[in-house]
Amino acid sequence: MTSKKALATPFMIWIVAGTIIPIGAIAYYGLTDRNDRFTLENVLAIGNSVHLQALWLSVLLALISTVICFLIAYPLAIIMKNSNFGKRGFMIFLFILPMWMNFLLRTMAWQVLLEKNGVINGMLEAIGLPGQEIINTLSAIVLGMVYDFLPFMILPIYNVISKIDDSIIEAAYDLGASTSEVITQIYLPLSVPGIVSGVNMVFIPSLTTFVISNMLGGGKINLIGNIIEQEFTVSSNWNLGSGLSLVMMLFIVVSMIFLERFDKTGEDSFI
Protein backbone atom coordinates (compact mmCIF):
# COMPACT_ATOMS: atom_id res chain seq x y z
CA MET A 1 0.00 0.00 0.00
CA THR A 2 2.61 2.53 1.09
CA SER A 3 5.02 1.44 -1.61
CA LYS A 4 2.28 1.84 -4.19
CA LYS A 5 1.69 5.32 -2.90
CA ALA A 6 5.37 6.07 -3.12
CA LEU A 7 5.37 4.93 -6.74
CA ALA A 8 2.46 7.19 -7.53
CA THR A 9 4.05 10.27 -5.98
CA PRO A 10 6.01 11.48 -9.05
CA PHE A 11 2.86 11.23 -11.13
CA MET A 12 0.89 13.11 -8.54
CA ILE A 13 3.47 15.88 -8.58
CA TRP A 14 3.34 15.90 -12.35
CA ILE A 15 -0.42 16.13 -12.43
CA VAL A 16 -0.56 18.87 -9.81
CA ALA A 17 2.24 20.92 -11.38
CA GLY A 18 1.36 20.32 -15.00
CA THR A 19 -2.42 20.23 -14.99
CA ILE A 20 -4.12 21.34 -11.83
CA ILE A 21 -2.04 24.44 -11.07
CA PRO A 22 -2.15 25.86 -14.64
CA ILE A 23 -5.85 25.21 -15.00
CA GLY A 24 -6.47 26.65 -11.58
CA ALA A 25 -4.48 29.73 -12.53
CA ILE A 26 -6.38 30.17 -15.78
CA ALA A 27 -9.68 29.71 -14.00
CA TYR A 28 -8.63 32.26 -11.42
CA TYR A 29 -7.52 34.85 -13.99
CA GLY A 30 -10.47 34.13 -16.22
CA LEU A 31 -13.03 34.66 -13.50
CA THR A 32 -11.55 37.78 -11.94
CA ASP A 33 -10.75 41.28 -13.11
CA ARG A 34 -7.48 43.20 -12.72
CA ASN A 35 -8.45 44.00 -9.14
CA ASP A 36 -8.96 40.34 -8.28
CA ARG A 37 -12.72 40.73 -8.03
CA PHE A 38 -14.97 37.97 -9.31
CA THR A 39 -16.48 38.69 -12.72
CA LEU A 40 -17.91 36.80 -15.70
CA GLU A 41 -16.97 39.59 -18.08
CA ASN A 42 -13.91 37.81 -19.49
CA VAL A 43 -15.88 34.69 -20.20
CA LEU A 44 -18.81 36.49 -21.68
CA ALA A 45 -16.45 38.47 -23.88
CA ILE A 46 -16.66 35.56 -26.31
CA GLY A 47 -19.95 37.18 -27.35
CA ASN A 48 -18.04 40.14 -28.69
CA SER A 49 -18.41 40.10 -32.46
CA VAL A 50 -14.66 40.08 -33.18
CA HIS A 51 -14.22 37.09 -30.90
CA LEU A 52 -17.25 35.29 -32.22
CA GLN A 53 -16.07 35.76 -35.75
CA ALA A 54 -12.63 34.42 -34.89
CA LEU A 55 -14.16 31.45 -33.12
CA TRP A 56 -16.41 30.73 -36.06
CA LEU A 57 -13.50 30.96 -38.49
CA SER A 58 -11.41 28.68 -36.25
CA VAL A 59 -14.15 26.08 -36.07
CA LEU A 60 -14.63 26.25 -39.82
CA LEU A 61 -10.94 25.87 -40.65
CA ALA A 62 -10.45 23.15 -38.06
CA LEU A 63 -13.43 21.26 -39.49
CA ILE A 64 -12.16 21.59 -43.03
CA SER A 65 -8.68 20.43 -42.02
CA THR A 66 -10.11 17.51 -40.07
CA VAL A 67 -12.23 16.40 -43.00
CA ILE A 68 -9.31 16.69 -45.42
CA CYS A 69 -7.04 14.77 -43.04
CA PHE A 70 -9.68 12.07 -42.74
CA LEU A 71 -10.15 11.82 -46.48
CA ILE A 72 -6.41 11.37 -46.94
CA ALA A 73 -5.81 9.14 -43.92
CA TYR A 74 -8.65 6.67 -44.31
CA PRO A 75 -7.94 5.26 -47.76
CA LEU A 76 -4.25 5.38 -46.92
CA ALA A 77 -4.80 3.28 -43.81
CA ILE A 78 -6.68 0.68 -45.85
CA ILE A 79 -3.98 0.67 -48.50
CA MET A 80 -1.32 0.25 -45.83
CA LYS A 81 -3.20 -2.63 -44.24
CA ASN A 82 -3.34 -4.42 -47.55
CA SER A 83 0.23 -3.86 -48.66
CA ASN A 84 2.90 -6.36 -47.87
CA PHE A 85 4.99 -6.13 -44.77
CA GLY A 86 8.04 -4.24 -46.06
CA LYS A 87 6.07 -1.70 -48.05
CA ARG A 88 3.74 -1.07 -45.13
CA GLY A 89 6.60 -0.32 -42.76
CA PHE A 90 8.12 2.05 -45.29
CA MET A 91 4.84 3.93 -45.81
CA ILE A 92 4.30 4.36 -42.08
CA PHE A 93 7.86 5.58 -41.82
CA LEU A 94 7.31 8.11 -44.62
CA PHE A 95 4.24 9.57 -42.99
CA ILE A 96 5.78 9.68 -39.52
CA LEU A 97 9.08 11.13 -40.72
CA PRO A 98 7.93 14.79 -40.72
CA MET A 99 6.96 14.41 -37.07
CA TRP A 100 10.63 14.04 -36.23
CA MET A 101 11.21 17.61 -37.35
CA ASN A 102 10.34 20.58 -35.24
CA PHE A 103 6.80 21.76 -35.70
CA LEU A 104 7.85 25.40 -36.14
CA LEU A 105 10.46 24.48 -38.72
CA ARG A 106 7.95 22.49 -40.72
CA THR A 107 5.51 25.37 -40.76
CA MET A 108 8.27 27.79 -41.63
CA ALA A 109 9.23 25.57 -44.55
CA TRP A 110 5.75 26.01 -45.97
CA GLN A 111 6.16 29.76 -45.58
CA VAL A 112 9.24 29.60 -47.79
CA LEU A 113 7.53 27.30 -50.28
CA LEU A 114 4.36 29.35 -50.59
CA GLU A 115 5.83 32.86 -50.58
CA LYS A 116 5.13 35.25 -53.42
CA ASN A 117 8.68 34.70 -54.64
CA GLY A 118 8.83 31.26 -53.07
CA VAL A 119 9.76 27.89 -54.42
CA ILE A 120 6.32 26.90 -55.69
CA ASN A 121 5.69 30.10 -57.56
CA GLY A 122 9.20 29.89 -58.93
CA MET A 123 8.46 26.47 -60.35
CA LEU A 124 5.09 27.55 -61.72
CA GLU A 125 6.65 30.50 -63.50
CA ALA A 126 9.45 28.36 -64.82
CA ILE A 127 6.91 26.28 -66.70
CA GLY A 128 5.07 29.40 -67.85
CA LEU A 129 2.14 29.34 -65.43
CA PRO A 130 1.08 32.43 -63.48
CA GLY A 131 2.21 32.65 -59.87
CA GLN A 132 -0.43 32.00 -57.22
CA GLU A 133 -1.27 34.01 -54.15
CA ILE A 134 -1.33 31.22 -51.63
CA ILE A 135 0.51 32.61 -48.65
CA ASN A 136 -1.62 34.64 -46.25
CA THR A 137 -4.85 33.02 -47.36
CA LEU A 138 -7.21 30.69 -45.52
CA SER A 139 -6.09 27.91 -47.87
CA ALA A 140 -2.49 28.31 -46.75
CA ILE A 141 -3.59 27.93 -43.13
CA VAL A 142 -5.64 24.83 -43.92
CA LEU A 143 -2.71 23.42 -45.84
CA GLY A 144 -0.45 24.01 -42.83
CA MET A 145 -2.93 22.39 -40.46
CA VAL A 146 -3.36 19.35 -42.69
CA TYR A 147 0.36 18.97 -43.15
CA ASP A 148 1.14 19.33 -39.47
CA PHE A 149 -1.64 17.21 -38.05
CA LEU A 150 -2.13 14.49 -40.71
CA PRO A 151 0.01 11.89 -38.88
CA PHE A 152 -2.27 12.24 -35.86
CA MET A 153 -5.17 11.18 -38.05
CA ILE A 154 -3.30 8.39 -39.83
CA LEU A 155 -1.88 6.63 -36.80
CA PRO A 156 -5.02 5.97 -34.72
CA ILE A 157 -7.02 5.01 -37.82
CA TYR A 158 -4.30 2.72 -39.10
CA ASN A 159 -4.05 1.25 -35.65
CA VAL A 160 -7.66 0.03 -35.61
CA ILE A 161 -7.81 -0.86 -39.28
CA SER A 162 -4.71 -3.00 -39.10
CA LYS A 163 -6.38 -5.02 -36.35
CA ILE A 164 -9.44 -5.90 -38.43
CA ASP A 165 -9.11 -9.58 -39.28
CA ASP A 166 -8.53 -10.17 -42.99
CA SER A 167 -10.99 -13.04 -42.95
CA ILE A 168 -13.79 -10.64 -41.97
CA ILE A 169 -13.07 -8.57 -45.05
CA GLU A 170 -12.89 -11.72 -47.17
CA ALA A 171 -16.17 -12.94 -45.70
CA ALA A 172 -17.83 -9.71 -46.82
CA TYR A 173 -16.50 -10.11 -50.35
CA ASP A 174 -17.47 -13.77 -50.24
CA LEU A 175 -21.06 -12.77 -49.49
CA GLY A 176 -21.10 -10.57 -52.57
CA ALA A 177 -20.15 -7.15 -51.23
CA SER A 178 -18.43 -4.69 -53.55
CA THR A 179 -15.38 -2.77 -52.41
CA SER A 180 -17.45 0.32 -51.55
CA GLU A 181 -19.88 -1.85 -49.57
CA VAL A 182 -16.99 -3.44 -47.73
CA ILE A 183 -15.70 0.02 -46.82
CA THR A 184 -19.02 1.47 -45.69
CA GLN A 185 -20.39 -1.62 -43.98
CA ILE A 186 -17.31 -3.28 -42.55
CA TYR A 187 -14.28 -1.00 -42.38
CA LEU A 188 -16.07 2.19 -41.29
CA PRO A 189 -18.17 0.81 -38.44
CA LEU A 190 -15.23 -1.24 -37.19
CA SER A 191 -12.87 1.73 -37.17
CA VAL A 192 -15.04 4.26 -35.33
CA PRO A 193 -12.76 4.33 -32.25
CA GLY A 194 -9.75 5.17 -34.40
CA ILE A 195 -11.68 7.79 -36.33
CA VAL A 196 -12.85 9.40 -33.10
CA SER A 197 -9.36 9.70 -31.68
CA GLY A 198 -7.99 10.84 -35.02
CA VAL A 199 -10.66 13.54 -35.25
CA ASN A 200 -9.93 14.61 -31.67
CA MET A 201 -6.23 14.78 -32.31
CA VAL A 202 -6.58 16.89 -35.46
CA PHE A 203 -9.60 19.02 -34.64
CA ILE A 204 -8.48 20.25 -31.23
CA PRO A 205 -4.97 21.44 -32.13
CA SER A 206 -6.35 22.96 -35.35
CA LEU A 207 -9.00 24.79 -33.37
CA THR A 208 -6.55 26.31 -30.91
CA THR A 209 -3.48 26.88 -33.06
CA PHE A 210 -2.06 30.34 -33.42
CA VAL A 211 1.37 29.47 -34.77
CA ILE A 212 0.12 28.17 -38.11
CA SER A 213 -2.22 31.08 -38.65
CA ASN A 214 0.52 33.50 -37.63
CA MET A 215 3.08 32.09 -40.01
CA LEU A 216 0.94 31.18 -43.00
CA GLY A 217 -1.78 33.79 -42.49
CA GLY A 218 0.66 36.68 -42.32
CA GLY A 219 -0.87 38.03 -39.11
CA LYS A 220 -3.88 39.25 -41.06
CA ILE A 221 -6.12 36.34 -40.31
CA ASN A 222 -7.20 36.05 -36.70
CA LEU A 223 -8.25 32.73 -35.35
CA ILE A 224 -9.43 32.42 -31.77
CA GLY A 225 -5.96 31.14 -30.86
CA ASN A 226 -4.37 34.32 -32.19
CA ILE A 227 -6.74 36.48 -30.21
CA ILE A 228 -6.04 34.65 -26.97
CA GLU A 229 -2.31 34.74 -27.63
CA GLN A 230 -2.45 38.49 -28.28
CA GLU A 231 -4.34 39.11 -25.06
CA PHE A 232 -1.47 37.48 -23.20
CA THR A 233 1.46 38.89 -25.17
CA VAL A 234 0.47 42.19 -26.82
CA SER A 235 -2.35 43.53 -24.61
CA SER A 236 -1.06 41.91 -21.44
CA ASN A 237 -4.67 41.29 -20.49
CA TRP A 238 -4.26 37.91 -18.81
CA ASN A 239 -7.77 38.05 -17.45
CA LEU A 240 -9.42 38.34 -20.85
CA GLY A 241 -7.02 35.80 -22.37
CA SER A 242 -7.80 33.34 -19.60
CA GLY A 243 -11.52 33.96 -19.83
CA LEU A 244 -11.52 33.16 -23.55
CA SER A 245 -9.33 30.11 -22.89
CA LEU A 246 -11.90 28.86 -20.44
CA VAL A 247 -14.58 29.14 -23.09
CA MET A 248 -12.38 27.22 -25.53
CA MET A 249 -11.77 24.51 -22.96
CA LEU A 250 -15.48 24.18 -22.39
CA PHE A 251 -16.00 24.07 -26.13
CA ILE A 252 -13.43 21.29 -26.51
CA VAL A 253 -14.79 19.28 -23.61
CA VAL A 254 -18.28 19.47 -25.08
CA SER A 255 -17.11 18.39 -28.52
CA MET A 256 -15.11 15.52 -27.02
CA ILE A 257 -18.12 14.31 -25.09
CA PHE A 258 -20.09 14.47 -28.29
CA LEU A 259 -17.45 12.43 -30.13
CA GLU A 260 -17.09 9.94 -27.31
CA ARG A 261 -20.79 9.29 -27.48
CA PHE A 262 -20.31 8.46 -31.13
CA ASP A 263 -17.58 6.05 -30.14
CA LYS A 264 -19.76 4.44 -27.50
CA THR A 265 -22.60 3.77 -29.89
CA GLY A 266 -20.04 2.16 -32.15
CA GLU A 267 -18.51 0.23 -29.31
CA ASP A 268 -21.71 -1.30 -28.00
CA SER A 269 -21.72 -3.73 -30.83
CA PHE A 270 -17.94 -3.70 -31.19
CA ILE A 271 -15.97 -6.95 -30.65
Contact status: 177 vs another protein (CB under 8 A): yes
DSSP of 168-231: HHHHHHHTT--HHHHIIIIIHHHTHHHHHHHHHHHHHHHHH--HHHHHHSTTTS--HHHHHHHH
Task: Decide: residue 8, CB within 10 A, 0-12 exposed, 13-18 middle, 19+ buried.
Answer: exposed
Among 174, 220, 234, 258, which residue interacts with another protein (rule: CB under 8 A)?
A: 174
Binding pattern to another protein, positions 110-149, x when CB under 8 A?
A: ----------------------------------------
Contact status: 184 vs another protein (CB under 8 A): no
Q: Using H for helix, E for strand and C for coil, what is the string for 28-42?
A: HHHCECCCCCECCHH
Contact status: 37 vs another protein (CB under 8 A): no
Q: Which of 68, 61, 225 is nearest to 146 (CA)?
A: 68
Distance of alpha carbon 3 from the chain centroid: 39
Question: Contact, 69 vs 153, CB < 8 A?
Answer: yes
Among 17, 53, 170, 253, which residue interacts with another protein (rule: CB under 8 A)?
A: 170
Among 102, 165, 220, 258, which residue interacts with another protein (rule: CB under 8 A)?
A: 165
Q: How far is the CB of 81 from another protein (least distance, A)?
A: 15
DSSP code of residue 16: I
Q: Which of 150, 129, 263, 132 is nearest to 203 (CA)?
A: 150
Among 83, 90, 173, 261, which residue interacts with another protein (rule: CB under 8 A)?
A: 173
Among 145, 172, 201, 227, which residue interacts with another protein (rule: CB under 8 A)?
A: 172
Q: How far is the CB of 160 from another protein (least distance, A)?
A: 12
Question: Total residues contacting another protein (rule CB under 8 A)?
Answer: 21
Contact status: 162 vs another protein (CB under 8 A): no
17-45 in b/e form (b: 16+ CB < 10 A) is eeeeeeeeebeebbbbeeeeeebeebbeb
Q: How far is the CB of 135 from another protein (least distance, A)?
A: 45
Contact status: 167 vs another protein (CB under 8 A): yes
Contact status: 183 vs another protein (CB under 8 A): no
Among 112, 124, 171, 257, which residue interacts with another protein (rule: CB under 8 A)?
A: 171
Q: Which stretch binds another protein (CB under 8 A): 62-70, 99-107, 127-135, 170-178?
A: 170-178
Contact status: 56 vs another protein (CB under 8 A): no
- Which stretches of the chain bind another protein, using CB under 8 A? 165, 167-168, 170-178, 181, 185-186, 189-190, 266, 269-271
